């Protein structure tokens, strides 16, 4: 379990890092390394060069304003999770992050890294999609913003070009009248979820004007389903969602069981998100 040989570069500026990436087709970016390093060790990945961005300044920020939470490429999961302000602005961040692996992994792993790793079994890519956030990427060619809906190309595949570095993620603030909830079932605490479901609901008084669900581990790419209609028609939101999901068998659970958990968790998180929205509304009024 030792990586194949690779060149290692630890640039001290973003420009240097971008130039290195542009100049080396087989280069990979190393931030927290929680997914990349095991892949290297098992020789499942053999990049010609690692561009370690940990010495690049000004990438570790967690900036919060009314619009939402901006998370730099070097901000660790643990730091985001520890930010009371971030949790206040967008409660779903902390709800989901507490399910991301274990403290030791969260201490090193980065939220932005998790997003561009694009694992449909991971919590944060789903959260970004559900909240309709975005990722800012940079390259020698300039900077661009990729909306969450356009970030995920396929299993473990983002739409970043080879020479691009994701420098910041943006998670919109939770709107007034909105509520969120997240729940997942994993075999062991901190494992990848067998199924995870997050809900984002928007209330206008007692009326549900929006209800969207984000799913973990039941599709190839992070998937969000709008169930507003099903909720308001007193139809089955889980059935609506399952029409767009592809729960599959693996060594830990059958497709049938996963579909069942989608139903159980959908019911739970929708109720919890509505409660959350109402309790926020009460706080505002009192």
Partner 1 sequence: MTTKLFGTKVARVEDQRFLRGQGRYVDDLLHDDPRLLHSAVLRSPHAHARITDIDVSDVLDLDGVLAVWTYDDLTGPMAEPLPLLIPHPTLTHGRTQYALAKDEVNYVGEAIAFVVAVDRYVAEDAVSRIRVDYDYLEPVVGIDAARAAQRLVHDDVPGNVGARMEQENGDARAAIADAPHTLTLDLDIERSACTPMEGRGTVARWDPDTSRLTVWSSTQTSTGVRGCVAAKLGLDLARVDVITPDVGGGFGVKINHPWPEELLVPLAAMTLGRPVKFTEDRREHFISSAHERAQQHHVEVGFDDDGRLLGLNVEFWHDHGAYTPYGLIVPIITSTQLLGPYKPLNYRVVFESLYTNTVMVTPYRGAGRPQGCFVMERTMDAIAAYLGKDRTEVRSTNFIQPDEFPYEHGLVFQDGRELTYDSGDYPASLAKLKELVGWDEFEQFRAEMAAQGRRVGIGLACYVEGTGVGPYEGAHVHIETSGKVKVATGLTTQGQGHQTAFAQIVADTLGVRFEDVEITTGDTRKMPYAVGTFASRAAVMSGSAIHLASLRAKEKALRIAAEALEADESDLEIVDGVVSVRGTDASPGTRIDLGTVAVLSNPLRYAFDEASKAATQFSVGDPGRPPVAEDDEPGLEGKDFYSPQRSTFANGMHAVIVETDPDTAEITILKYAVVHDCGHLINPMIVEGQIHGGVAQGVGGALYERMVYDESGQLLNASFMDFLMPYVTEVPTTIDIDHLETPSPLNPLGIKGAGEAGVIPSAAVFAAAIEDAEGFPITAMPISPSELYALRLAHADDPAEAAEAATTTAG
Binding mask 22-51 for partner 1 (x = CB under 8 A): --------------------xx--------
Residue 233, judged by CB atoms within 10 A of its CB (0-12, 13-18, 19+), counts as exposed
- Alpha carbon distance 110, 147 (integer Å): 19
251 near partner 1, rule: CB under 8 A: yes
Among 82, 264, 278, 281, binds partner 1 (CB under 8 A): 264
The region of 103-111, 186-194, 204-212, 228-236 touching partner 1 under the rule CB under 8 A is 186-194
Residue 177 or 196 with smaller CB distance to partner 1: 196
CB of 174 to partner 1, least distance (A): 27
CB-CB contact of 228 with 211 (8 Å): yes
Sign of CA dihedral 142, 145, 149, 154: positive
| 205 part of the interface to partner 1, by CB under 8 A | no
Does 229 sit near partner 1 (CB under 8 A)? Answer: no
Tell me: does residue 189 bind partner 1 (CB under 8 A).
yes
CB of 98 to partner 1, least distance (A): 13
What phi and psi values does residue 61 have, to the nearest 5 degrees? -80, 150
Q: Residue 188 interacts with partner 1 (CB under 8 A)?
A: yes
Residue 7 within binding range of partner 1, rule CB under 8 A: no
- Taking alpha carbons only, the member of 32, 33, 118, 10 closest to residue 79 is 32
Proportion of the chain in helix, strand, coil states, percent, rounded to 5? 35, 30, 35
- Confirm or reject binding of residue 248 to partner 1 (CB under 8 A): no
Q: What are the angstrom distances between the C-alpha of 196 and each of 82, 99, 153, 258, 276?
A: 22, 10, 20, 10, 18
Subset of 89-148 contacting partner 1 (CB under 8 A): 102
* Beta carbons of 62 and 70 less than 8 angstroms apart: yes
Nearest approach, Cβ of 35 to partner 1 (angstroms)?
Answer: 11
Binding site for partner 1 (CB under 8 A): 1-5, 42-43, 102, 185, 187-191, 194, 251-254, 256-257, 260-261, 264
């Amino acid at each position: 379990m030792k990586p194949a040989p690779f060149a290692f570069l630890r640039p001290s500026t973003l420009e240097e890092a971008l130039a290195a990436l542009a100049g080396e087709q087989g280069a990979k970016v190393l931030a927290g390394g929680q997914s990349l390093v095991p892949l290297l060790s098992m020789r499942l990945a053999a990049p010609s060069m690692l561009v370690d961005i940990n010495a690049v300044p000004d990438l570790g920020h967690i900036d919060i304003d009314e619009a939402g939470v901006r998370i730099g490429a070097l901000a660790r999961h643990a730091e985001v999770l520890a930010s009371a302000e971030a949790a206040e602005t967008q409660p779903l961040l902390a709800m989901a992050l507490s399910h991301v692996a274990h403290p030791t992994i969260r201490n090193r792993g980065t939220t932005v890294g998790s997003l561009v790793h694009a694992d449909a079994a991971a919590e944060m890519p789903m959260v970004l999609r559900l909240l309709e956030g975005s990722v800012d990427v940079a390259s020698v060619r300039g900077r661009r913003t990729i909306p969450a809906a356009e970030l995920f190309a396929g299993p473990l595949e983002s739409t970043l070009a080879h020479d691009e570095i994701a420098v910041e993620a943006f998670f919109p603030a939770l709107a007034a009248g909105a509520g969120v909830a997240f729940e997942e079932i994993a075999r062991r605490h901190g494992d990848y979820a067998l199924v995870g479901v997050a809900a984002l609901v928007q209330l206008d008084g007692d009326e549900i004007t929006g209800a969207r669900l984000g799913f973990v581990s039941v599709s190839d790419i992070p998937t969000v389903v709008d169930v507003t209609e099903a909720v308001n028609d007193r139809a089955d939101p889980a059935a609506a969602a399952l029409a767009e999901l592809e729960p599959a068998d693996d060594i830990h659970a059958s497709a049938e069981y996963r579909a069942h958990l989608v139903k159980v968790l959908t019911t739970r998180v929708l109720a919890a998100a509505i409660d959350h929205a109402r309790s926020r509304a009460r706080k505002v009024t009192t």
